[in-house]
Amino acid sequence: MKRYGTLIFASGLAFLLFVMFAALPLGAPPMTVGHAILDQAASQVGAANIVTSVVLAYRGIDTLGELSILFAAASAVGLIMGHARHDKPAGAPGGFILRAGVDLLYPLILMVGFYIILHGHLTPGGGFQGGVALAAAIILAVLARPGDLPSHAALSWVEGLAGAGFIATGLAALAYGHAFLTPLLTGERLGALVSAGTLPVLYIAVGLKVGAELASLLSRFTEEAAQ
Amino acid sequence: MDWLDLIVVVLVALILTGAMATLLLENMLGAAVASALVSLGVSVFFVLLRAPDVALTEAAVGAGLGGLLLALAAKRLGLWRIEVQQEEKQS
């Protein structure tokens, strides 16, 4: 009964929000920055995927903020979950179907993840999506064989170096007299794999950082659950 | 355009069913899977609305890791168990 009450409350809230939004002029935003970016992004940044040029070039500091938020969340999980206890036996190994499926899919998912990261400036996707795919591959391996967990030290090193690489790439722009995180070396080769200057470097850093962070976060959950 | 409308209707039904199942299912694992199903439907919607970047994020984070995180949290709280241990003992 209480559950249906919650449902009625939620529908009432949705109705109120709908009434509020019905009074707003939807579909006609009073901003013109979108059109300016659509007109200039290809020639200014040189990335065929305009979303990437917004995420990494025009709004690069926002992306750095997102990375910091993810880092804070992963650190909080690490603090709450505490240290892994190696004296306890690891969890049960996965069944035959899971193990055989992981053997087959693990390299494919890793490849898709790296593809999405490396082609972030050309096709939809990028560091965040590809990093999540990498983390999914690692977690699948952990679920199939809980005995050989990835070492948290190695994942932390990858994560830290990738984060430092992102900031170093941003600082390199300062050395050339530009603002922090300004894309460098943007050439004329729109649509080529090696194009858009430092944007692929930034996305590789983002992808490795997100992948290592999420893999470490989720493997903590499986470790704790194994006890 | 008719087949597109049909896809949209099926998707809306899928998303609403998934959302209701998330609320009403007693089984925590089933509820986590149902919430992942909602994200999957929404990600197909993003593709239809020509936002492939958002669709990729929604599919990877919402349908993939989000459901996994909910399931692992439920497992950590002891709300469901893997049946494999018994199987290993028998063999």
Q: Report residue A87: phi and psi, to 5°.
A: -75, -20
Rounded Cα distance between A168 and A146, Å, is 36
**What b/e readout covers A141-177, taking b as 16+ CB neighbours within 10 angstroms?**
bbbbbbeebbebeebeebbeebbebbeebbebbeeee
Report how many Cβ contacts below 8 Å link chain A to chain B.
Answer: 59
A149 pLDDT tier (thresholds 50, 70, 90): low
Residue range A186-210, pLDDT digits in tens: 666 766 777 777 888 888 899 999 9
B53/A125 CB distance under 8 A = yes
**Nearest beta carbon to residue A92 from set B55, B64, B84:** B84
Q: Among B73, B69, B79, which residue's Cα sits nearest to residue B25?
A: B79
Nearest CA in chain B to A109: B60
Report the pLDDT value the prediction gives residue A14, as an integer from 0 to 100: 93
For A188, the 3-state DSSP assignment is coil
H-state helical runs in chain B: 2-24, 28-48, 52-57, 67-76, 84-90
Give me the interface pTM, i.e. the ipTM: 0.76
User: B residues 14-73 near A, CB within 8 Å?
Assistant: 23-24, 52-53, 55-57, 60-61, 64-65, 68-69, 72-73
Residues of A in contact with B46 (CB under 8 A): none
A124/B82 CB distance under 8 A = no
For A201, the 3-state DSSP assignment is helix
Residue range B2-60, pLDDT digits in tens: 888 888 899 999 999 999 999 888 888 888 999 999 999 999 999 988 888 889 889 88
Cβ-in-10-Å burial (0-12, 13-18, 19+) of B5 comes to: exposed
Residue range A171-180, pLDDT digits in tens: 888 888 777 7
Residue range A75-133, pLDDT digits in tens: 888 888 766 555 455 566 778 888 888 889 999 999 999 999 988 888 888 888 999 99
For tokens 């992004």, what's the residue?
A41
Sequence length of chain A is: 227
B90 part of contact set with chain A, CB < 8 Å: no
Its domain, for residue A36, covers 2-226
B60/A221 CB distance under 8 A = no
Opening angle at CA A49, ends A65 and A66, nearest 5: 10
- Shortest Cα–Cα distance, B35 to chain A (Å): 16
Residue range B61-72, pLDDT digits in tens: 888 888 888 888
pLDDT at A143 over 60: yes
Number of domains in chain A: 1
- Shortest Cα–Cα distance, B24 to chain A (Å): 8
Is residue A163 within 8 A of residue A205, CB to CB? The reply is yes
Rounded Cα distance between A57 and B11, Å, is 35
For the whole prediction, is pTM greater than 0.80? no
